[in-house]
Amino acid sequence: MTDIAATAAPSTETATLPARLAKGFVNRLVIIIPYLWLLFFFLIPFIIVFKISLSQTAISMPPYTPVLDFSDGISGFLAGFRELNFDNYTWLTQDALYFNAYVTSLIIAAISTMLTLIVGYPIAYGMARAPATIRPTLLMLVILPFWTSFLIRVYAWIGILKPEGLLNQLLMSLHIISQPLVILNTYTAIFIGIVYSYLPFMVLPLYSSLEKMDYSLVEAAEDLGCPPIGAFWKITFPLSLPGVVAGCLLVFIPAVGEFVIPDLLGGSQTLMIGKTLWNEFFSNRDWPVSSAVAVILLLVLTIPIMFFQQAQAKAQEQGR
Amino acid sequence: MNSTWSRFNITSIVLGFAFLYLPIVLLIVFSFNESKLVTVWGGFSTKWYVSLFHNQGLMDATWVTARVGVISATVATVLGTLAAITLTRYTRFRGRVLFSGMVFAPLVMPEVITGLSLLLLFVAVGLDRGFFTVTLAHITFTMCFVAVVVQSRLVSFDRSLEEAAMDLGAPPVKTFFQITLPVILPAIISGWMLAFTLSLDDLVIASFSSGPGATTLPMKIYSQVRLGVTPEINAACTILIAVVAVGVIIASIANKRREIQRQLDEQAAQRG
């Protein structure tokens, strides 16, 4: 690499052939290494999930019958297509439990995304309007909880929401309630958990689009007699829409498949698909059915994930 | 813009931060509780920290978690940086859409799906589940976060610096290590820290991809939480929070120092 011809070359265009070949090789390596890694550890696993979702449960290790194996050669592989069965999928549609789990997950994720937006918007707005000198500190304070463990933050709420927990103690000592409220192990606890855990994901994109906004537009509208609330809905909110969309996607997509929050705060009475998949896998040891649950969950999430990817690509374009 | 920072804005920020921080503060406070009942204050005590250090299972899990975190964060940082360079520098190559999809999708993919799919891969290729498989799984999902962090720094990077170096005859690899790398180093460091904390934190993917003998700390905490809330878990959580907080503070101080140094250098350069 450091031969005199290469180093003395005035520009890369006129670099010697070995140097150019080396550059091409390095370029290709930069792309190929992460590409292959993601292909092998991200994409191929999904194909395996799909394959196993078409197999039968068996009492063996691994607990499923082999399908589409290349061990019998190509003809065996093609013969395997005829033996494929979609029993796991028909079973998912027949058992109301799974359908309900998907629907409630989507509804819970949608409601908690709305709640996160309602809680997060004033915070992001306040931060964007704060004096420029303290903005970095505020930003840091929003990011900091994200660095502490997700599990710990969810766990902290158990002690607060329990019937004999801190919230009930406080409310009862203030004589606001006489009986402890039952919050833990209800959907309310799940909403609180999701809003709390995902708040930074909502606030950060909102903040970045609100901070970029030209505030003189609002001042102009108010000078022309528009009431502050009208100016907010006509100017501020529409201009912050990219942030709203990004924040909502960042909260909604992971919330649909959330496991830790419904498991620890929702108890056994609440139903969410991430928990169903987990139980199917770890308690019932039914790998094919949990694979089918995962495939359908992925299909349900395809549309929002594609929106997310597009938003990311757009942000990348603008950044350049 | 001070006049627009109204009472409403201040109130919403104060309430918002109270909501974000109060649960963590309460958790820390009650880890010093004398009483075994987590929510009833019985006086100050550090006995739960003492019993924590005598809990062999918890100590083993901590050691496993630390090793998985350091190894996976390091490999993920290398891979994520390469992915970020690919995303920003190579705008056209075959399969670029698929590549950017594979980088961005894991950021929002529900953990149960990622965990399940990785587990089935490990079973399919016949890898025994344990320390090695957890590490591989953590590399895979954290490298995408590193890629996004490094990418955002690369986008704002002034490429004329690289061009100048190459015009002066530096070969591309040398240019990368002497020009590009120092400039994007802060992003790489924060990418490493993000990968490390994500690995430290992960329960779901670790539960799927781990095997006997490689129980991580979140898995241990989770199995104890299911049995009930105890001050000992509070103590374990407090130590974890403290470790992360110290790390973040050191990183931000170092960052600030570098920033000031850079400004001083620039001023000196301008004065000639």
| pLDDT tens, position by position, A100-130 | 899 999 999 999 999 999 999 999 999 998 8
Q: Which of residues 55-74 of A touch B (CB under 8 A)?
A: 62
List C-alpha distances in Å: B26 to A167, A175, B23, B33, B193.
11, 22, 5, 11, 26
B231 in a structural domain: yes
Interface test with B, best of A2, A37, A157, A260 (most B CBs within 10 A): A37
pLDDT band with cut points at 50, 70 and 90 for residue B266:
confident
In a domain, B14, yes or no: no
Residue B157 lies in a domain: yes
CA distance readout (Å), A107 to A91, A101, A243, B14, B243: 23, 10, 22, 30, 37
SS3 B149: helix
- Whether B25 is covered by a domain: the verdict is no
The pLDDT of residue B71 is 97
- Could B102 and A144 be called an inter-chain contact, meaning their C-beta atoms sit closer than 8 Å? no
Smallest CA–CA distance from B86 into chain A, residue: A31
CB atoms B16 and A122 under 8 Å:
yes
Asked, for residue B73, whether it belongs to a domain, the answer is: yes
The residue with greater pLDDT, B266 or B177, is B177
Give the 3-state secondary structure of residue A145.
helix
Chain B residues with beta carbon closer than 8 angstroms to that of A140: 252
Query: What residues of chain A lie within 8 A of the CB of B80, using their CB?
Result: 34
Helices of type H across B54-95: 56-89
Q: Write down the ipTM of this complex.
A: 0.83
Under a CB-based contact definition with an 8 Å cutoff, are residues A77 and A68 in contact? yes
Q: How far apart are CA B76 and CA B146, in angstroms?
A: 7
Q: Within 10 Å of residue A120's Cβ, how many Cβ atoms?
A: 29
Instruction: Inform me whether the C-beta atom of residue A171 falls under 8 Å from chain B C-beta atoms.
Output: no
* Distance between CA atoms of residues A257 and A279, nearest Å: 13
Q: Is residue B110 part of a domain?
A: yes
Q: What is the pLDDT of residues A187-220, one digit of tens each?
A: 999 999 999 999 999 999 999 889 888 888 888 8
What's the domain count of chain B?
Answer: 1
> What is the distance between the alpha carbons of residues A153 and A15, in angstroms, rounded to a whole number?
56
CATH number for B208: 1.10.3720.10
Instruction: Please state the rounded mean pLDDT for residues B4-21.
Output: 85
Q: Please classify residue A186 by burial: count the beta carbons closer than 10 Å to its beta carbon, then call 0-12 exposed, 13-18 middle and 19+ buried.
A: middle
**Amino acid (1-letter code) at residue B140:** T
Residue-range definition of the domain harbouring residue B90: 55-271
Percent of chain A at pLDDT above 70? 82
Q: Is residue B209 part of a domain?
A: yes
**Contact B13/A130, CB-based, under 8 Å?**
yes
Planar angle of CA B222, A265, A252, nearest 5 degrees: 100
Residues 6 or more apart in contact with residue A165 via CB below 8 angstroms: A158, A159, A184, B39
Q: What is the C-alpha separation between A22 and A5, in angstroms, rounded?
A: 14
Instruction: Name all domains of chain A by residue range, CATH numbers in brackets.
Output: 4-83 (no CATH), 87-319 (1.10.3720.10)
Query: Any CB–CB contact under 8 A between A108 and chain B?
Result: no
Specify if B188 maps to a domain.
yes
pTM: 0.83
Beta carbons of B36 and B229 less than 8 angstroms apart:
no
Residue B3 pLDDT exceeds 60: no
Beta carbons of A228 and A222 less than 8 angstroms apart: yes
Can you read off the two tokens belonging to residue A261?
Answer: 């929050």
Q: How far is C-alpha A227 from the chain's CA centre? A: 37
Cα B257 from Cα A247, distance rounded (Å): 32
Q: Show the CA angle centred on residue A159, arms to residues A157 and A163, nearest 5°.
A: 105
Phi, psi angle pair for B44, to nearest 5° = -80, 140
Minimal CA–CA distance to A13: which of A4, A28, A23, A3?
A: A23
- Give the pLDDT of residue A130: 87
User: Does B19 or A83 have the greater pLDDT score?
Assistant: B19
Q: How far apart are CA A128 and CA A209, in angstroms?
A: 9
Per DSSP (E only), the strands in A17-60 are none
